[in-house]
Amino acid sequence: MTVNDFWVLSPEIAMALLALVVITADLITRNVMKVLFITLVGLTVPLVLALNLWYGWFGDPVAGSALFGTVEADRFSLFFKFLLITVSAGTILASVKYIAADRMKNYGGEFVSLLLLSVTGMMLLVSATELITIYVALELSALPIVALAAIHRTKQGIEAGTKFFVLSAISSAILLYGFAYIYGYVGSTNLEMIMERLAVIPTEAGVPFGSYAVLLAVILVVAGFGFKMAVVPWQMWVPDVYQGAPTPVAAFLSVASKASAFAVIMRIMYSAFGDPSMMQDWSGLFAILAAISMTVGNVLALAQSNMKRLLGYSTIAQAGYILVGVASVPANQVGSAFSGAGPQGAMYYLAGYAFTNLAVFFAVIAITMRTGDDSIDGLKGMLKRSPLLASLLVFGILSLLGMPPTVGFMAKVVVFGSALNANLAWLAVIGVVNTVIAAYYYLRVIRMIVFDDPVETSTFSGDKPILVAAGVAAIGTGIFGLAPFLLLEFAESALTIVPGL
């Protein structure tokens, strides 16, 4: 390892070290509040190191590849690293009350430490440019979540953990199968090398990707990551795990896990299969997945009565909207302009969705911890019982629904706009129809919160840390909707993976 390798990997190293520090501190102090404090302060270190790689504060930006070209700290990966660090900080803030609760007394340090290890895996995942590294990083990000989902050792928690573990293992197997095909066909696991070799291998006319082997490999890889992205038809674990796992873990899963899976799938597709003709092939695949995901997620959400399950289905639908951006590839663009509006829109959507979904989840955490009732009916009249939390929840739901001027609206406009531009008008139409379907169940929840009479009259407010976390998430939801350029320009300069830009 050279010095440069250290710099390139410095945010991940700092994050892994922090996980170790946290678990040691937990052993020594046995005081969970101190541990949380150390964690939140400690999170600034990987953040600063990641910012340094972007801006080059400590000398020239060293962004480049490390460890023999297996990881790369380009701006694309840094965009997601900022997001992941922010999300983990928010999740930990939102878990404070949760960790301090009696049944978690002995696991506080483990909870935080496992979460940080998972984030380390995700940060590595978004940087990885080589198939084996991608696989290892993916496992590192997934295994801690299994333990986190089951940390309560209740029947539901263990069911959630087991389900996640089994399906995660199956998806990894499918993914490896796909990687094996790629390696067998082109003889390399390096993404750039794959692209170079594919360009010289003779292709069969009329076959997508020029060969059935590559077609099969791409389908297997997409299927493997489909579990993590939670898109139909690999979505069935989502509602069960969300319902059974501790809610902060579900929040983390719905945002961080999804964002990193989208990041790595975009990187694989653009870096290894970024040839314009291939782009068109996988664009079609993602467009179909997007249409199915949006529709199935929204239709199934209509009949839910449990808030966490509803949010589970809603994230499936949201993944569909993000896929619209992934499917809108530059190669399909109408006219001569060759732009990265699609991937840029997907990144904007992911970041905006992260803020929105965290605001919703955190408000739900704060409310259900108090009421102990996670059915939708339990939210009745919440505006009267807890005005602040209910307002944050309603605002977040309005953004999920896509109401102007929130980030949810803007992101949908950008993503559907990019679809129109990429000759996918039918997909944009399906997207718009879906937002109308989604309005039905989102508005139903809002109606209960705002207009129905409360089941109980007692009033309450959330604890400070979770209010801060939810408030920051809600402010992000508003600001990034009113001033979309803040995130979009950031995403634009992070489009380092798209060839030809």
Partner 1 sequence: MFEGLLTITVFLPATVAILVTLFARGKEVDRQVRWISIAASAVTFALTVMVYVGYDQAVGGIQMVDYYERWIPVDALRSSYLLGVDGLSAPLVLLTGILGLAAAFASWRIKKRVREYFMWLLLLETAVLGVFVSLDLLLFFIFFEFELIPMFMLIVLWGSGRPRYSAMKFVLFTLAGGAFMLVGILAIYVTPDVGTLAMVSIPELGITGIPELMAGAKLALPAALIFGFFFIAFAVKLPLWPVHSWLPDAHTDAPTAVSVMLAGVLLKMAGYGLLRINLGFFQETQDFTIHDVAGPMAIIAAISVIYGGIVTVRQTDMKRLIAYSSVSHMGFVMLGLSAVGASAVDTSAAGLNGAALQMFTHGTITGLAFLMVGLSYDRTHTRHIPHLGGLWKKMPMIAIFFLIAGFGSLGLPALSGFVAEIMVFLGTFSVWPWPTAVAAFGVVLAAGYTLWMVQRVFFGARPATPGLSDQVYENLTDASWVDMIPVIILAAPIFIIGLWPSVVTDVFDIGIQAVLR
Q: What is the dihedral of CA 76, 81, 83, 88, to 10 degrees?
A: 160
> Among residues 64, 378, 405, 454, which is the contact residue for partner 1, using CB under 8 A?
405
Q: Cβ of residue 391: shortest distance to partner 1, in angstroms?
A: 8
> Among residues 37, 404, 460, 500, which is the contact residue for partner 1, using CB under 8 A?
404
**Counting contacts by CB under 8 A, is residue 372 touching partner 1?**
no
**Counting contacts by CB under 8 A, is residue 381 touching partner 1?**
no
> Among residues 398, 424, 438, 472, which is the contact residue for partner 1, using CB under 8 A?
398
C-alpha distances in angstroms, 37 versus 25, 43, 89, 222?
Answer: 11, 10, 11, 39
Distance CA 278, CA 275 (A): 5
Q: CB under 8 A: which stretch of 124-132, 146-154, 283-291, 482-490 binds partner 1?
A: 482-490
> Among residues 64, 69, 284, 417, which is the contact residue for partner 1, using CB under 8 A?
417
Interface map 36-75 toward partner 1 (x if CB under 8 A): ----------------------------------------
Q: Cβ of residue 281: shortest distance to partner 1, in angstroms?
A: 21
Please name the helix (run of DSSP H) or strand (run of DSSP E) that holds residue 317, with its range, or none.
helix 307-327
**Counting contacts by CB under 8 A, is residue 484 touching partner 1?**
yes
Of all residues in the chain, what percent are helix, strand and coil, respectively (each to 5)?
80, 0, 20
Q: CB under 8 A: which stretch of 126-134, 239-247, 341-349, 352-360 binds partner 1?
A: 341-349
Q: CB under 8 A: which stretch of 280-288, 335-343, 349-357, 369-377 binds partner 1?
A: 335-343
Nearest to 158 by CA among 167, 169, 149: 149
Q: Which residue, 292 or 341, has its beta carbon nearer to partner 1? A: 341
Nearest to 229 by CA among 401, 350, 67, 374: 350
Q: CB under 8 A: which stretch of 37-45, 53-61, 260-268, 331-339 binds partner 1?
A: 331-339
**Counting contacts by CB under 8 A, is residue 345 touching partner 1?**
yes
Q: Which residue, 106 or 461, has its beta carbon nearer to partner 1? A: 461
**What secondary structure, in 3-state letters, does 167-231 show?**
HHHHHHHHHHHHHHHHHHHHCCCEHHHHHHHHHHCCCCCCCHHHCHHHHHHHHHHHHHHHHHHCC
C-alpha distances in angstroms, 29 versus 104, 105, 107, 212, 446?
Answer: 16, 13, 13, 58, 44
Does a cis peptide bond (omega within 30 degrees of 0) precede residue 387? no
Q: Which residue, 68 or 338, has its beta carbon nearer to partner 1? A: 338
Q: Which residue, 304 or 418, has its beta carbon nearer to partner 1? A: 418
Distance CA 496, CA 488 (A): 14
**Counting contacts by CB under 8 A, is residue 492 touching partner 1?**
yes
8 Å CB contact between 439 and 401 = yes
**Counting contacts by CB under 8 A, is residue 433 touching partner 1?**
no
> Among residues 339, 356, 357, 399, which is the contact residue for partner 1, using CB under 8 A?
339
Number of residues that bind partner 1 (CB under 8 A): 33
Distance CA 184, CA 286 (A): 24
Does a cis peptide bond (omega within 30 degrees of 0) precede residue 246? no
Residues that bind partner 1 in the complex, under the rule CB under 8 A: 328, 335, 337, 339, 341-342, 344-345, 387, 398, 403-405, 409-410, 413-414, 417-418, 420-422, 425, 432, 436, 450-451, 483-485, 488-489, 492
